[in-house]
Structure 1
Amino acid sequence: MGCGGASGTTPSPAPVAPASATNADIAVETVAAHNAWRTLVGVPNIAWSNTLAATAQAYADHLKATNNCAMVHSGAAGLGENLYWASGLMYGNGTTAPNPKTPTQVVDAWASEKANYTYASNSCAAGKVCGHYTQLVWANTTQVGCGHASCSATDNSSVWVCNYAPPGNYVGQKPY
């Protein structure tokens, strides 16, 4: 169960979301979406980290530059990491269009894994994923920062990376 690590080696522009959103809007919406889910299980609110956001953006840019946003975790120590990939809209004539996601949609997609998680046994349902959910509600995590990249002009896909500190998803430990 779980995801972990994040890093990047390229310069780090600010996170990008749908064209009308500002970086501050992204931060506020991302934190609010996380905290809505965290409140449901009684864990402390999380705060935005520009440092984590820069690291996440650098890794989103790295994913874009390598294998068209292949979903590969960075593996960096000391940070939790959730990845999200979205396809573009596909039309009957074979063309695609961007399908931008808001921070709330991304966080809610991870949170939907709650249905796969059993707190009593601290486990995911057989064949299901729940580590994105457990990371976003991990009680000891206090900061989040996210980045986003459009992957390909051909298929209009995109990737989101969120980094968490301190990380969660320690084997044998419950998230809250």
Structure 2
Amino acid sequence: MLKQLETITQVLDLHNYYRAQHQVGPLKLNNSLNNFAQEWANRLASTGSFNHRSNNRYGENLAMGSGHYGTMQSLVKGWYDEVRSYSFGWGGFSGSTGHFTQLVWRGVGIATGRDGSTYLVCNYDPPGNYGGQFQNNVFRKK
């Protein structure tokens, strides 16, 4: 349990590191969101599937990897690296930048699959990626 809390805290710290670079306040852990995310991460890991939860009222980022690509740093950085494709002038949603914009927009669950892959689920409340709201919520790096 302590190891899982340390991992969740690491994911939170990574989020807040990237958020600070874009002049956005820090996230805080929320036990309800953590439990919600953990439930989904467990399901994904046990079934080997990889899909967003349907009818989810929260924002959600998913990542899965193994070995070096299954570390929390690698998984969260993968979301952040979508910044390279984001157009700050346009400020809209794109399938290739949605993880980045959710990460820096104004709960964490981690599970390991049978094959050793790590499944990371992060839920956000309030959710991000609302049309017409990007320029007010996603800022350039300082």
1:34-49 matches, cutoff 5 A: 34-49=15-30
Distance 1:157 1:60 in 2: 11
Instruction: Give RMSD over aligned pairs.
Output: 2.1
Partner SS state of residue 43, structure 1: coil
Gaps (5+ residues) in structure 1? 1-13, 15-20, 89-97, 140-144
Q: Work out the number of aligned pairs and report it.
A: 136
TM-score, normalisation: structure 2: 0.83
Alignment correspondent of 1:147: 109
Distance 1:164 1:124 in 2: 17
Alignment correspondent of 1:161: 121
Q: Which amino acid in 1 is paired with 2:71?
A: T
TM-score, normalisation: structure 1: 0.69
Percentage identity across aligned positions?
A: 32
1:26-175 matches, cutoff 5 A: 26-66=7-47, 68=48, 70-86=49-65, 88=66, 101-123=70-92, 129-139=96-106, 145-153=107-115, 156-174=116-134, 175=137
Gaps (5+ residues) in structure 2? none
Which has more strand, going by share of residues? Answer: 1
CA contact (8 A) 1:73 1:81 kept: yes
Distance 1:132 1:78 in 2: 16
**Alpha-carbon deviation of 1:100?**
7.1
Q: Which amino acid in 2 is paired with 1:62?
A: R
Distance 1:32 1:150 in 2: 21
Which has more helix, going by share of residues? Answer: 2
